[in-house]
Structure 1
């Protein structure tokens, strides 16, 4: 009893730096009977799990044996694969400009084919000038442009003055910036400094995608290798930056990388087994036209990996946090007890996340599915076409990676915190 109270007082004196879980104390246990009166529920600080000497020793083994070699390999590969030089294709480059429509009328010589807009330029060499721009009509209906709207233009420098500027699309930068600001404010308002760290991690992800992954693939590097290296670096920065460098986040990262590796293997195998060429992917043929050496099948698998990264991060961090909560509630819980309870939590999470991922891929293929619905083709025929089969493989491979992430991360976390303080607590309480 004395050693049990000493352990309890040690936990109580630690500041509540992180989250806490309330453990009801009933009268069925000696400790609950002795301390339950007058105190109500007892608050357990989960930060004591990270600072536990036993946990620290076990996690150091995982970090030294698994994480450090993988992170070092990813960083070295990142340096080796980093694209040097310019990857742009000169024949595909065009100048651009933006402006606001100040007047709009039908074209004089082709009233049914286009509208003639007067656009006041807001940037470029002719900034401030009003220039004529033809806005084509599609399928007999005019593209919905109105006076006062912002538009994007392509600039043909050697064309006649009345054809120098060509309509490209609406300029949507303002509404997108407003939406991004609302998103950032909402994240910071809810999660405070952790939300701010998550936004920085999001910026790092954007930089990795635009400055490493895409250019490296265009330079001829293996898309699958680039995706794995880039994904590992992104996840390392995102997890440690958002959740801190501690035992819990290290275990979550180890589970993420393990599940990522399995996703890569499954994606590579089933892409070949299903005979997917990658040509059905949107923009694939255009990309190969300007980069003939591009491996479209590898690019398809790389897309599966990148698409599953965010969900894997969510699952592994949640599972590690759940096991940490359980260990904080009962320091003497065995590995089997923690695994059992952690998997019960994970089952509910996976059920909802898998459905979300599959629906996301189905939504991306919605235009193709509508075409098949119009043609009234048999379901077997529809599924076997590459455009649909590609999305099926994407969704199922990503889902398998998520499913694997739960037991992998739960097992690593349980191994790290199981039986961590049996000598202090004495008789263990059952894990709910």
Structure 2
């Protein structure tokens, strides 16, 4: 080999000093942008951290049992339909609450999980009519048998509360984890752990902050940024492509936050007509329903935004690896063709996800035969419509920005190649691909291949 050539044995290529310097420079630029943003986010999170105090909250939990009342669980053995008149009160002629004279009720003879004789649980008419109960169902019921005078007042001693869904949810969660880990392997496991961390931020920081009346816009931006920094780096590693996706995600978050703040005020989203909103308004004077809606508009787009930015960033890297000599303009155009397909499918994803969540409301609107315009701008549907539009605008604009950053970074950090031997026709580009490495050494040794793969992985950072 002549002087100045950077070849290694078996045709491998070492990165040139210029390529390494360019990579370091690009990484320093990314760090110069992301490190201050991360520090500012952490400081803001510390300043906004909720105290956790529940003083002043007017809590009246429907799950709190009165003295002598307990919530029990059991398994239904058989279901019968009979007179709603409680046998213990027939002598006084007092029917069970909500039952007319001679009406029929559904009862479930249930074996208590804590042991003892089967108990006769009265099933709510709504459940009996819409869903029904059957032998083998696990249920949660209210035990009033120890309350003073319950039988004398004709009150049922055991009243259905809810189904026990622990087992099916656990089975689905295990199946989900197994599928993710089997397909994505260690990266899938890291993503699942990152998801738990995201929920920890949501539960310990954002939700208590909203209850205490912290600024909802700032709370949502800080919490969402912390979540994205954590899940992206934890799942995908500290690489240039991850940092690129994070920058695109932050841009999309900023756009979403601005639009959400404007839309919440301009469309007067105040949760009017929502039972949950009315409940929260009565819990504390510090809770702002419009602030909660604003925060929800921002949080709801996190998953899809993360999806499009990391996918777009990876697409740029993969396209470049296939053709390292591609110009910035062509690389951007090729990646944006992928991005446009992603935009189309993601818009459908968001719209149908929200439509599915609002399906009961949509059915009611259809049955009332309201004009489409009135229905979409009504209190019942306007929040879902605005959530769809705000989230879609943020993610659509994040795609070209992420693509542009990724193209600039990958061209700055990529392997430029080394000068070819004179017998090979002079200097030029040497593609840094698996196929080229394999062809250059006729299959090569395993150690050499591993060395080249290691160098490529290092350059991708």
Give the TM interval when normalised to the shorter protein. Answer: 0.7 to 0.9
Moved more, 317-326 or 291-300: 291-300
1:37-85 CA-partner distances (Å, limit 9, x unpaired)? xxxxxxxxxx99xx954234213212222x2222222222333333333
Q: Say which SS state the counterpart of residue 386 (structure 1) adopts.
A: coil
8 Å Cα contact 2:13-2:418 kept in structure 1: no
- Taking the aligned partners of 1:8 and 1:391, their CA distance within structure 2 comes to 59
* CA distances 1:286-326 after superposition (whole Å, capped 9, x unpaired): 22222343222221121121111001111110111111123
- Aligned counterpart in structure 2 of residue 261 of structure 1, from 250, 254, 260: 254
Deviations 1:318-375 (A, max 9, x none): 1111111233234444432322222121111111011111111122222222222222
User: In the alignment, which of 170, 174, 187 is matched to residue 167 of structure 2?
Assistant: 174
The 5-angstrom pairing of residues 151-170 of structure 1 reads 151-154=139-142, 159-160=147-148, 165-170=158-163
Alpha carbons of structure 1 residues 381 and 356: separation in structure 2 relative to 1, 3 Å = same
- Residues 249 and 320 in structure 1, CA contact (< 8 A), matched pair in contact too: yes
1:133 aligned residue (102, 116, 121): 121
Match for residue 91 of structure 1?
60
Give distance in 2, aligned partners of 1:11 and 1:339.
31
Query: Which runs of structure 2 are paired with 1:230-379 in the superposition (5 Å)?
Result: 230-280=223-273, 283-379=276-372
Give the Cα separation in 2 of the matches to 1:311 and 1:172: 28
By relative contact order (CA 8 Å, sep 6+), the higher-ranking structure is: 2
Deviations 1:235-260 (A, max 9, x none): 11111111111111111111111111
Give the 3-state SS of the residue equivalent to 2:132 in structure 1. Answer: coil
- Mark the CA change 1:104 to 1:167 in structure 2 (over 3 Å): closer, same or farther: same
Contact preservation (8 Å) 1:319, 1:410: yes
Pick which of 396-405 and 414-423 moved more.
414-423
Q: For residues 323 and 387 of structure 2, what CA distance do their matches in structure 1 show?
A: 40
Q: Which residue of 2 aligns with 1:122?
A: 113
Paired residues, what number?
392
Asked if structure 2 preserves the Cα contact closer than 8 Å seen for 1:59 and 1:250, the reply is: no
> Equivalent residues in 2 for 1:37-116 (5 A)?
52-65=20-33, 67-87=34-54, 90-92=59-61, 93-95=63-65, 96-105=71-80, 106=82, 107-109=84-86, 110=99, 112=103, 114-116=105-107
Distance in 1 (alpha carbons) for counterparts of 2:397 and 2:9: 39
Distance in 2 of aligned mates of 1:249 and 1:271 = 32
Give the 3 Å change call, closer, same or farther, for CA 391–142 of structure 1 in structure 2: closer
**Residue 256 and residue 142 in structure 1: after superposition, are their counterparts in 2 closer, same or farther (change >3 A)?**
closer
Asked if structure 2 preserves the Cα contact closer than 8 Å seen for 1:135 and 1:143, the reply is no
Which deviates more, 195-204 or 108-117? 108-117
Contact 1:232–1:257, Cα closer than 8 Å, also in 2: yes
Query: Alpha carbons of 1:195 and 1:140: their partners in 2 closer, same or farther (altered >3 Å)?
Result: closer
Greater shift after overlay, 112-121 or 256-265? 112-121
Q: Which moved more, 1:105-114 or 1:228-237?
A: 105-114
On the 8 A contact 2:319/2:331 being kept in 1, the answer is yes
1:91–1:278 CA distance, 2 compared to 1 (3 A): closer
CA distance in 2, matches of 1:343, 1:368: 37
TM-score, scaled to structure 1: 0.80
Question: Is the 1:223–1:299 Cα contact (8 Å) retained in structure 2?
Answer: yes
- 2:445 corresponds in structure 1 to none
Whole-Å Cα distance in 2 between the matches of residues 350 and 209 of structure 1?
A: 27
- What is the RMSD of the two structures over their aligned residues, measured on CA atoms? 3.3
CA distance in 2 between partners of 1:187 and 1:321 (Å): 19
Gaps of 5+ in 2: 66-70, 87-98, 420-426, 432-461
Larger radius of gyration: 2
1:27-46 correspondence to structure 2 within 5 Å: none
Separation in 1, partners of 2:78, 2:379: 46
